[in-house]
Every structure is written in C-alpha cells, then in structure tokens.
Chains A and B, each alone.
Chain A
Amino acid sequence: MILNIFGFLLMAFSAMALGLLFIGIARKVVARVQKRIGPPFYQAYLDVFKLFTKNSITHGFIFDFGAIMAFGGMITTLFFVPVGPFVLYGMNGTLLLVIYLMAVAYLGMAMATVGSGNPLASVGISRALTQMLGYELPFIVVLLTLIYSSNTSSIIGIVQTQQSGFMNWNLINIPIGTAVAFVTLLGLMGKKPFDAPIAPSEIASGPVVEHGGKYLAFIMLQHAVSVVVKTALFVDLFLGGGNNIFIFIVKMLIVWLLVTLIGSIFPRFKVEEGVLFYWRWPLIAALLQAVIIIF
C-alpha cells in the first residue's frame, strides 16, 4: 500500500518533470527554426514555479473544480500507458480506456474555461471539440486495425507483439496506419496546422484566456503530462515500446521533435478545413489499412 502510493507519486512527478523538459526543448527548437536564440531549455520549470507563487483570480467553484479535474484526469490516464518497462498497474483492455480517460481531462478543462464566463474561451472550446471529431475518427480506425491485428486491446500486449526487433514494429507492419496516426498526433497535441482552438491571434489563446497564476500553472502541468502520455502512447503502439527507460525516452523525444518541427512550419487551418482534411486523406488511408489488415 505504502509502496503503491510512493510509486504513484514518483510516476506522477517524474512525468510532470519530463513533460516540462520536453516543452522547454520544443520552445528552443521552434526558436531556432525561426532564427531566434530562444529561452533556455529549463524555462518551463521556471514558469511553473513562478506561476505558483503569483496571485490569481477565480470565477467561482466550477473554475477551480475544472482545473483539478483536468489535471487529475490526465494523471489518471498516465497510469494506463506503459512508460518503458514501468507498468505500475498492469491491466488488459486499456487502449480504448486511455482514449476515454483523456476525455476526462478535456471535459474538466472545458468546464473550467467556459465557467469563467469569457466567450472567447467558449469559442475555443467549440473549436476544440469540433476538431476532436475530425482527428479522432482516423485515429480510432487505426487503433481498431491495431487491436484486430495484434489480437489484444491491451497496450502491454501490443508492445509485446513487437518485441523481437525492428522488423516487428507496427511501423513496418502497418505503415499507412502509422503515418495516419502521426498526422492525428499533430491534431491531438493541438500543433499547427491544427491549432485553431488556441489561435492566439484570433481568440486570445481561447481556452486559457482567463487562466493566470496557479490556474495557468495547472494547465501547464496538465499539458506537460499530456505530452508524455501522447508520445508514450505513440511509441508503445508503433515504435515497439522499450525495454530500457532511456531508449524509450529517446524514442519519445524523437516523436516529440518531429511533431514540433512539423508544427513550426505550417500555417493554421480553419476549423472546418481541419476537420474535412482529416476526413479526407487520413480517414481514407486508415480505412484502406483496415481493409488490408482485416480481409
């Protein structure tokens, strides 16, 4: 019991630390792409610590509750994604669960921001939900194919099917699906060209417009954990997971850098353009992959 609680805390805090590190690295990379020097890689840590010491305002209990729900939901999700060899609570049937657990965090975030009463936040949430319907559909079709071909819906099981070397990775087995999943990962992380929900120049950063002080710190921590969850999920599903935590983190970093680099060179889609984009080529490709695997 004590060991469980200790493991829980260790996992949660190391995920936060790793996520913030990734965010710092991404800021540096984007700066270099844009020919700036950029902040130091540890800037995200400084930001979070600073924000926790600042005064902040709240717009009522739903604003507080939403922030807690967003962060708590993301922490919960973390424990269902194997990070390297660490599987704290080994469970089967987790792939579909992870998708829905992430929704808890989204719902909390959405409630908090809309609860602030700022219409810009509502616009952002409406865009985010719309876009979600866009990218989740091809993503889910890929996951379905994956479950069918690996004959298990547990993430650990899927990692184990790709154990013996590079040629067994799902990257090789279902290449089209991997490509589609990577494109959906861009939307899942809200990277350009799919950053209409936060569009700083149009709707003043949308969902986070009212967040300051510890609330913004909460959003940053939640984002950090979500970066870890999403990249780890991608590595687990398509890049063979990892026997070693360092190899695993290197793989995560490669995925994250690719996402960041691609995200730093594209302009932004309009909301419905983004949705229609996902429903055109990625969805067709995903369905093609599913047909190849199932029949």
Chain B
Amino acid sequence: MKKNVEYSEDLFFATITELNAKLKAREISAVELTHAFADRLERLGPTYNALAMPMREYAVKRAKLVDQDLKRERYRGPLQGIPFGAKDLLSVADLPTTWGAKPYAAQTFPYTATVLNKLEKSGALLTGKLAMVELAGGGGYRIAGASMFGPGMTPWNRANWSGGSSSGSGSAVSAGLVPFALGSETSGSILTPSAYCGVTGLRPTYGLVSRYGAMALSWTMDKVGPMCRSAEDCGLVLQAIAGADSNDAASAKKSFYYTPQYARKLADVRVGFAPVDFAEWVIPAARGAFADALGVVRQMGVQMVETKLPDYPYSALTSTIISSEEGAIFEPLVMSGKAEELADPAQAAGLRASLEIPAKDYLKAMRLRSLVQRDFRRLFADIDVLLAPTRFGTAPVIAEPLDKDDGAALPSDPGFSKLIPAGNLAGLPALSMPCGLVDGLPIALQVVGVPFSENTLIAIGREFQKRTDWHRKRPVTG
C-alpha cells in the first residue's frame, strides 16, 4: 500500500472521467488514489477551514472492495473508485454530523443520507466531511466566520471568503483536495461557493435528488447537488444521486440520465439575458471579463434574447419562506438557549425573530410563490434558459462584514439581479461555471432552465468549457 507518495499535481485536478480511465488502466489503484487524496485533504483542508472530519479509514475499506472489482473487470460506472467529500449536513450512520454548528458538534444519526448510499453503490469513496456555514446560514449570517469551523477561505486567496453555505465543498474541489463534492442549496449555497472558488456547481431541480439524511432548513426549498471540475462531471454525479426516494416526501420520483449524445442542438436554444447585468450590475473591474464570456456564449451559436424576469419581491418571498420553515425546525434550539452558542450572533437573532412570523405571512409568500411559478412557466414558453453572472463581484474579504454597504448606487433596472432567489423559489435547476479571473479571483456565469432540463444546462456548460479553460485554472496551493 502506498502512503505519502508524491504524485503529480495533475492527478489532483483531473476530472472524474480522467481519473476513472487511470483506475481502469491500472495506472493507480483505488486504495492508492484514496490515500493520495486523503493525504492532501488532511494536509491542506484545515488551511482553508474546509475539513469537518477526515474519513480515510472509512474510504480505504471501501476502496479495497473497488480494487477487487476492478481486478475482475467488474465496472460499475464512471464514479467507481473516485474519492469525494460531502457537506457536513449529510449524515453518515453513527459518525458526527455537525451541521457546522457548535450546539450540534457531537450529533450522530443512526442512518446514512440517501445520496451517500447511492454514491457508495456507484463505487465512489467518501473521503471526508466538509465544513459549512452553521445551519446552512438560515438565520441570516453577516460574517464569513459563521461556522464552528471558522471562515471558509477560497483557495485563490485565503483572505477572501469561499462563499457559503457549502463553503468546504467549494474550497476542497477548488484546491484539488477531492475530485468532487456534494453541497446543498436553499437559496444560493451551491452557486455562490462554486463562483467564489472557481468550480462548476449544479443546483438540481427541486425534488430530483433525495434530501433524506440532509439537515432540513426549508422543506420546500432544500436541494442537494454536485460541485465538480466540469459540467460533464456534474452530469456524471447527478446521474448517480438523482432518483425516487420513498424516504423523501418531496421526491419528484424521476431519474436523471446524463445523455450528452441526445443534447439539443445549441442553434435551437434560446438564451434569455439582461444586458444591464453585464453593463451595470457587475463590478467595474469584472465587466471586461464578463463581456468576453458573453461573447463566447454568443459564438456557441445559441439565440440570444433580451428578456426580463417576472416582477416580484423575490428576496422578501424567499426570506419569509425560509425563515418560517427554519423557525419551526429550530424552535427547540432557540427555546433551549443554545442558539446563543452559534458563531454569528446575527444567526441566533434571526432564528429567534423567525418564530414571530405570522402564519398569514408565510401563506402569503407561498401563495405568491404559485404566481412566481406560473409566470416562469410563461417566460419559458419563449426562451429555453436564462443566463446571468452567478455573482456580480468576486469573493468578499473575510475580515469585512458580508452585509457591508459600499454606498454604490444600484442600477434602476433590476435585470436578473434576483435570479438566485427567483430560481430557488420556482424550483429551477441551475449550473454555475467559471468564466474568468478578476484580480486573481474567479467569476462565473449561471445558466438556469425549466424543471428537469439539467441535460440542456450541462450541454451549454460543456460547450462553454470546450471553448474556454477557466474550469481548468488552478489556484496556488500548499
């Protein structure tokens, strides 16, 4: 068994397909690959506050079985023998699942999350639990340090935030500590760290991926999804984790098959966008890079259509729904007084205030949500996907509050500035892909589609990543 062997950096930034080819060709065994990634995750993970719990022994036990299969040429698919990490809101039976929050530091569950069981069946190897913003940030956090693991750092500059709430998942993939990771999104928690860490993240359609064994923040909005090196890798992981689950009341009872061979012709795809996003909403330093990225999308041959989002107070709806549901979920924490142990006092205050939201406000938000869904269906009658910057700027500086007001006047046209809460309200899938570097920090584009259009989003991502190499850029690590 090889331990602490020096491997080329290329190994740690290879895609799932590339690693799978090495395993099949017996260039490296699953046990060796697991040790290689475990060494790196354990050595570098803490430097980004990305590691919640190393799971080397757990992974190596399973890697030995994978090697036996590979020796007998029993191939189970592209994830066989691939190490990965999981956000620490996903339970593994009898091991700690902290939800990133001190009051739950010693919490265990007697069962394993469905997505992790599915990945194990596909032969993927869980090598570590990854850090996250406490309670996925539902109380409304105002500092990057809102986590029992400390502030998540982007590997591109440790003075800057990784984004949240899937902070460790973003950092770990970005720094080559795992080939892919699972994150979760209620409103922005996969897309934001994907953008700030320069990785490709996919938020699945609500209900496509089981949430059983995942911390509940909002029963009607939570999604679990992959964060990877490429759009193609997202498709491979999504195929493994999607599907019906009788343990999840919200399961859409649909499977997902990654089928690039049947992808729509891009010339037929109508892409809705708002020019104001690129001209006014993005920070001035990023406008050139975003304009270049938009140019690449145009060259792909898609039909670009200027459009507007339906006019709703998306942030108010999202906040009211999440706060009301999380208030019900975390009432015991608030009433016990243990919410005061959270790292960010704003979270404790937000949770306490959430208990006071009248039922009529929650129901009003949910009724308006019906109209939002209706209007998005109408919008998608004329276009196929929406395109916008994932975030308008680069990763914020950790030392400053996240709610810091820089005093800049906001554009009068909202453009797609509320696409993240809007897309989450409507349960829409989204893909975030790196599209440039500004002052050494990544920026990204998001593509949003109709429910269950993940293959179209991935096809657009694949084509963009054929024409650019932003997803192949690596931060300096070590």
Do these two chains really belong together in a complex?
A: no
B residues sitting closer than 8 Å to A (CB atoms) are none
